[in-house]
Amino acid sequence: MERTEYIQADDYERSESRQSQRNGYYERDFTTRVGTLELKVPRTRDGEFSTVFERYQRNEKALLASMLEMYV
């Protein structure tokens, strides 16, 4: 959803307002108190898209800090 908003086009949609192209996913391990999650993080061709998770964020403590920032 975030990536679609960034690109300004749905899958396979051709549009003058399109910002970039989807470029699959990369995997990232994310450590929580209950174990390690394997995340599939979306990426775009231009590399400018960013998600809720910061670039090198790997643990729950950083996630909680990000969630607090979004709430405030």
Domains of the chain: which residue ranges? 2-71
pTM of the model: 0.45
3-15 tens-digit pLDDT: 555 555 566 666 6
Query: Is the pLDDT higher at 13 or at 39?
Result: 39
Is pLDDT of 1 > 80?
no
Read off the tokens for 71: 């709430």
Percent of the chain that is helix, strand, coil (3-state, to 5): 25, 30, 45
The per-residue pLDDT for 67 is 64
The per-residue pLDDT for 47 is 62
Q: How far is CA 13 from the centre of its chain?
A: 20
